[in-house]
Copies of this chain bind each other. A is one copy, B any other.
Amino acid sequence: MFHTRQTETDKKPAKRTVFIVSDATAITAETLAHSVLTQFSDLEYDQVRIPFIDTPEKAFAAANKINDCYIKTGVRPLVFSTFVDLDIHKAFTERCQGFRIEFFRSFIKEIEQETGLKSAHSMGRSHVIKDEERYNRRIEAINYTLAHDDGQMNKGLNEADVILVGVSRSGKTPTSLFLAMQFGIKAANYPLIPEDFERGELPEVLQGMREKLFGLSIAPERLSQIRNERRPGSRYASIENCREEIEAAENMMRREGIKWLSSTSRSIEEISATIMAELNLHNAHKIE
């Protein structure tokens, strides 16, 4: 038994340190690194983010930190980087002893060849004016979404790109905020409440806006669990009430011809991407 267990331990791959290095925020590099690493369920790792490496000196220091980790742990660190600036990239690459994956440079070269255009090598600071327009629209969308969360403001509802409807705690708020933050989409949301079901019709303010509506449903068991965290033991959170509300909401959405999905086993990202595809929404920050 002892030997068997030892062998198993020996076979287990060494825990790695994953470094995310960038001359900007490192957020893009981190997102892609996570997507890639998710494919390796047996890989255990600790993550260190090193953003804003925007001079060759900082690049040397970052490389030294990674090399020190290699020496200390005896295991080669995995290094994911996005460097726009070529000199900083070179300074880093020359010194870094980790296993490096650079997400940017090879693609930029390929696109230069395909398009015959020169890239900016400029720290993600080109496109400034377009970026500012896009950026302002994102901030505007966030403000809009916060002001039109949970049906709290009917004024300006006609400016929404999408209005999410569903029972309380079906996932409307985080989805609305993600749509606004990620895509610059003005996403309002409006709760469906027992009074709407009794009346058997959509809230009046929504009736002229059917083409903007998208419904979120959720499994009653999950809804009851979420509501119980808020109001433990309440009628509101009871499985019976959740079943009734969900059934009534789904019936209403079917009857009214509103597209909807169940948020139960979907991430905010999946829900948002589905809504955009179904309603044919495009990024507000699409380059025009």
Contacts and interface: CB of A to CB of B under 8 A. Distances in A.
Interface stretch (A155-163, A203-211, A235-243, A266-274): A266-274
Contact of A28 (B31, B45, B115): B31
Nearest to A267: B135
Contact of A101 (B107, B138, B267): B107
A210 B13 CA distance: 42
A277 interface: yes
A111 interface: yes
Given A47-B287, A107-B101, A78 B117 contact: no
Contact of A119 (B39, B120, B127, B274): B39
Contacts of A152: none
A152 B46 CA distance: 36
B78 A114 contact: yes
A267 B121 CA distance: 19
Interface stretch (A2-10, A19-27, A59-67, A245-253): A19-27
Contact of A40 (B27, B82, B120): B120
Given A52-B277, A126-B39, A13 B117 contact: yes
B110 A27 contact: no
Contacts of A120: 38-41
Interface string A84-101: 100000000000000101
A115 B14 CA distance: 9
B32 A124 contact: no
Contacts of A24: 270, 273
A107 B36 contact: yes
A18 to B, nearest CB: 9
A74 interface: no
A44 interface: yes
B177 A84 contact: no
Contacts of A119: 39-40
Nearest to A119: B39
20 contacts: A13-B116, A25-B270, A26-B273, A27-B272, A27-B273, A32-B32, A32-B103, A35-B104, A36-B104, A36-B107, A36-B108, A38-B131, A39-B126, A40-B117, A41-B127, A42-B118, A76-B114, A99-B114, A101-B111, A103-B103
Given A51-B277, A146-B149, 17 more contacts: A13-B116, A25-B267, A27-B273, A28-B31, A28-B32, A28-B35, A31-B32, A32-B103, A35-B82, A36-B104, A36-B108, A39-B84, A40-B111, A40-B115, A40-B117, A76-B114, A142-B174
Which 3 pairs of residues, A with B, have the shortest CB-CB distance? A25-B273, A39-B119, A41-B126
